[in-house]
Every structure is written in C-alpha cells, then in structure tokens.
Chains A and B, each alone.
Chain A
C-alpha cells in the first residue's frame, strides 16, 4: 500500500498491476495508480501487457466434450447397473458380517467341544458322552442350517457378477473354517 494515497512509484504500480486488472483495488489506490499510468509510459506499457495477457487467456476457448466420448462413457457404465454396484457393496458388507457370525459360532462350538466336561470322562461315560455328542450334532446341524439360510439370503439380494463370486468366496472360507474346527474336534473325540 502506498504511504500517500495520491502518489505511486513504478515499483508500487508493478506490484499492484494484477490486482488492478482484476478490479480488486479500492477507489483511492486505483485513482493513484491511474494517475501514475497517465504520466509513466513504461508502466503504461506494462499495464497494457498485463491486460492483453489476461484477455488472451480469457479468450482461450473451453472445449466441448465430443459426443462419441459421452456415448462411450454411458455405454461402458450402462451394463453395470447401479443396483449391482450397491449390491456389490452390500455383498461385501453382508459377506463380512456373515463371516463374523460364523467365526463367532465356530469359536463358541470350539469352547463347547474343548471344555473340561467334554474332555474328562464322567462317572457315567456312556450316557454323558452320548448326551454331549447329541448336543454337538444338534449344534452342528443348526450351524449348517444357519449357514445355508444365510447363504440363500445373501445370494437372493445379489445379482450375478463378481459380487456373487466375492460373497461365495467369503462364505466358503467361513464354512471351511468351521469344518476345520469340527474336523479337529472329531479327531480329538476319536
């Protein structure tokens, strides 16, 4: 900012040129700058250059996106409908949730199978062992049914494509985990 509102030197003018071209100067400053330009040919030429460059830039045209690009974009995105996109997200989320449920169930089953009561024969081994074995079979059957039910529910909400494969893979991994746990427990039982 000049120390006197009505006087500008060349250095001050050059420093304010861009703001002047933008129309951002206050009244007093702009008046002082204009007065200097009237008297200084060097600064007048520089101001003309600043304006010319600004105008040349603003004259550079914006380019319309070619229609064939629009068509290509719409065609390439049309086949993957938004339902599938949302379902893929749902599929990943749903599969993750299912995996957590199955992992929790497998952990609970593991605790039951590995509990001291199961490991240590009871005074009436036949009856107690039979009861526990029956409970375990029931639990496994229930788990299996739950997995199948969940699988059907998730599959019903997905359409074909990678989302289904992603979910199937997630479910298969969970089922594999449960089977390994159950298989290990069966070997322990035997």
Chain B
C-alpha cells in the first residue's frame, strides 16, 4: 500500500471506523484510541489487505479491538462513560409535527440503550446495516459471517429492539 493509498483510506474510512467504535464502546475517548490503533495497523499490514476490501478489513479489526476493550473494561468492573447519548438528539425530523418530533426524540434516546443490550454480534450488524448503511455482503466480510447469518441476525435483532421499545412507544402513542 502506498502512502497516497493509505491517506485515502484514512480519509474515506476513518469516520466509519470511528462511528462503529463509538456505538460499540459508548465512550468517545476509547473510540478515538481504537480508531487510531486500527489505522496504524493498516499502515503496518497494508500489503496483506485486499485493496477491494479495505473498509471491511478496517471494520473487522476495529470491532475486534472494541471487543478487547469491553472485555478489559468488564474485567475491571467499569461502566462506559456514555458520553455518546448526547449525540442521539442531533438528528431532527424536519417535516414532522411537534408530537412526532417529541416521540421520535424519546425513542432515539432509548434506542441507544436497547442497542447496547444486544449481544456484540447483533449490535455490530445493526450498527453497520442500519446506521452505516453497509451492504449485507460487506457486513458478512467484515464480521466473517455467512451472508444468510447476517440477514437472520439482523432480523432477530430488529425484533428484540421492537420488544425493548414497545412499552415506551405505546406510552408515547397514548399521550
């Protein structure tokens, strides 16, 4: 991998890695560390990476690193700082009425918690598909899963998220 190719990869994929790390770790500082480590690892091992699968490789490395961080955190009995929740209100429904806006905002605040309750694999699939818009094929490559497993995992994760948020949604709808 040439220097120019590496800098292009940093520019094109850095935010994807950072986003995944933020939502997996719920800690911006740790997400920054993971992102930096992942990109430096690409620099050191660029020759081993298929040029057509750089993003999937980066996401896989970042996710594995995030899992290591979470395990270490669990071993120390630490909870994440969760300074990410503040970002969940950033997106706005421009055309919705005030009640819909309020309901949507409430749901967004809760979706982060519900997402965090999923297991690592399901959470990764949901983040990559629903938030980052990656294709099923790319997710399968990044997570080293069969394509059908990605679809099944996503389907089950969506049902779990609905179950987790049903009461809140019904309450908001009733108001």
Contact = CB atoms under 8 A, between A and B. Distances in A.
Interface stretch (B17-25, B49-57, B67-75, B142-150): B17-25
A67 B110 CA distance: 29
Given A53-B162, A65-B17, A60 B111 contact: yes
Nearest to A81: B3
How big is chain B's contact interface, by range?
Answer: 35 or more
> Looking at B44, B103, B130, B170, which has the most chain A CB atoms within 10 Å of its CB?
B130
Contact of A58 (B131, B161, B165): B131
A70 interface: yes
A183 to B, nearest CB: 40
Contacts, number: 107
> Looking at A56, A73, A77, which has the most chain B CB atoms within 10 Å of its CB?
A56
Contact of A49 (B14, B115, B162): B162
Given A53-B165, A69-B35, A89-B47, A77 B40 contact: yes
A76 interface: yes
Interface residues of A, number: 33
A59 B108 contact: yes
A64 B126 contact: no
Closest CB pairs A-B (n = 9)? A59-B91, A57-B130, A65-B14, A65-B18, A77-B43, A56-B111, A56-B107, A62-B19, A73-B39
